Amino acid sequence: MTAHGKSWVLHGGVLALLFALFFVLPTYHSGQLSRIMVLAIYAMGFNILFGYTGLLSLGHAMFFAAGMYGFGLTVNLAGFPMPVAFLFAILVAAALALVAGGLALRTAGVSFMIVTLMFAQAAYLVVLYFGEYTRGDEGFVVAREGRMIAGIDLSTDAGRYFCAWVLFGVCFLALAKLIKLPFGKRLIAIRENEERARMLGYDTSRYKLMAFVTSGAVSGMAGATYGLLFGYVGASFAAVPYSIFPLLWVLLGGAGTTIGPLIGVFFMFYLIDISSGYTNAYMLIAGLVLVLLTLFAPQGLAGSLRQKVMPWLP
C-alpha cells in the first residue's frame, strides 16, 4: 500500500474508533472524549501555524474566545439560529486573525511571539471591560434553544458526542488533505527554509498570512463548538493559559503531524484527570511527565512514531 493509502486508512480508522467508543465507554468517559475532540480541533488550528508553517503564536486564546463569544452572544442577545451564529463566530475569528496577523507578521521570532501575546491580552481585557454583555470571569450560559439543529438537542450526551465527532472528523480530514495540496507544501517549505522559498518565487508573506487566518478560523470554530456543546462562555478561555495549552498539546502529540493534536490533548487530559485522583499535587506529576517526554521524545509522541516506525505518517 502506498503512503497516501496508509494515511487515509489511519485517518479513517481513528474516526471509526472514536465513533465506536461512544457505545462502549461509560457516560463519564464519553463526555470527556467529547471535550477532547473539541479541544483537538483547537490544537489542529494551532498546529497549522506552528507545526506546518513554523510560526509560534502565544495569542491563540483570542481566536478561541472570539469564536466562543461570537457564537454565545449572537445566540443570547441577537437571537440568531444556531447555524447562522456558528458561521458568524468563525467569520469573527477569521477577521480578527486577518487584522492581528497583518500586524504581527511584520515582526519575526521572539518579537512575533510577544506581539501575539499582547494581542491576546488586549482581547482578554476587552472581554472584561464589556462585562455587562460578556459577564466577565463569571461567564454566561448559552440558551438551550440556540443549541439545537433540525430538532436535535446538542446538549444531550449523544448529541454532544456525535456533533463533536462530525466537526472533529471534518477538520481532521481537511487537515490531512490540506498538507497534500500545493498550499500545504508551500507552508512546509516556509517552515523549513523561508529564504529559499522566497528565492523560488513564492510570496512567503502572503502564505504566512493565509496560514494565520486559516489557523485563527479553525481555532474560532473550536471555541464556537465548545460554547455550542457545553453551553458555557467565560473569560477564562481568553486568558493566557488557553494560549499555552495548544502549544503543549501539539508539542506532546507531535508538531507537524495530523494525528498529533488529538494524541496530545488525550494524553494531557487523562494525565491530569488520573493524577488528580491520587494527589492534590497533580500538576507536579504532569510537569514531571512533560519534562521526561520533552527529553526522551522531543518530536512528540506521533513525531517519534514517524521517525522510528511509521515514516509515512502525515
CA angle (89, 56, 300) in 5-degree steps:
105
pTM for the full predicted model = 0.94
Instruction: List, for residues 2-28, the tens digit of each pLDDT value.
Output: 777 788 888 899 999 999 999 999 999
pLDDT at 235 over 80: yes
Percent of the chain scoring above 90 in pLDDT: 67
Return the DSSP state at 231.
-
Query: What distance in Å separates the CA atoms of residue 306 and residue 292, rounded to the nearest whole number?
Result: 19
Average pLDDT over every residue of 177-197 = 92
Nearest to 227 by CA among 170, 163, 270: 163
| SS3 state of residue 2 | coil
Q: What is the mean pLDDT of the chain?
A: 91
The C-alpha cell of 77 is what? 442577545
Give pLDDT, residue 12: 92
Sign of the torsion formed by the C-alpha atoms of 36, 145, 149 and 238: negative
Question: What is the radius of gyration, based on Cα positions, of the chain?
Answer: 19
Using 50, 70 and 90 to split pLDDT, how confident is the model at 305?
confident
Instruction: List, for residues 242-262, the tens digit of each pLDDT value.
Output: 999 999 999 999 999 999 999
Give pLDDT, residue 58: 93
Measured N-to-C along each axis, helices 241-253 and 260-275 cross at an angle, to the nearest 10 degrees, of 110
Residues in the chain: 314
Average pLDDT over every residue of 302-311 = 83
The answer to whether 64 touches 121, Cβ cutoff 8 Å, is no
**Following DSSP, what letter does each residue of 69-109 receive, concatenated?**
HHHHHHHHTS---HHHHHHHHHHHHHHHHHHHHHHHTTS-T
For residue 152, what are the β-bridge partners?
149
Q: Which residue has the higher pLDDT, 116 or 80?
A: 116
pLDDT at 99 over 90: yes
Instruction: List, for residues 113-149, the tens digit of each pLDDT value.
Output: 999 999 999 999 999 999 889 888 888 988 887 788 8
Give pLDDT, residue 280: 84
Give pLDDT, residue 154: 85
The answer to whether 284 touches 272, Cβ cutoff 8 Å, is no
| SS3 state of residue 215 | helix
Domain boundaries, given as residue ranges, for the chain: 29-238
Burial class (CB in 10 A: 0-12, 13-18, 19+), 302: buried
The C-alpha cell of 231 is what? 453551553
Question: What one-letter code names the amino acid at 64?
Answer: F
* Neighbour tally for 65: CB within 10 Å: 32
The answer to whether 80 touches 74, Cβ cutoff 8 Å, is yes
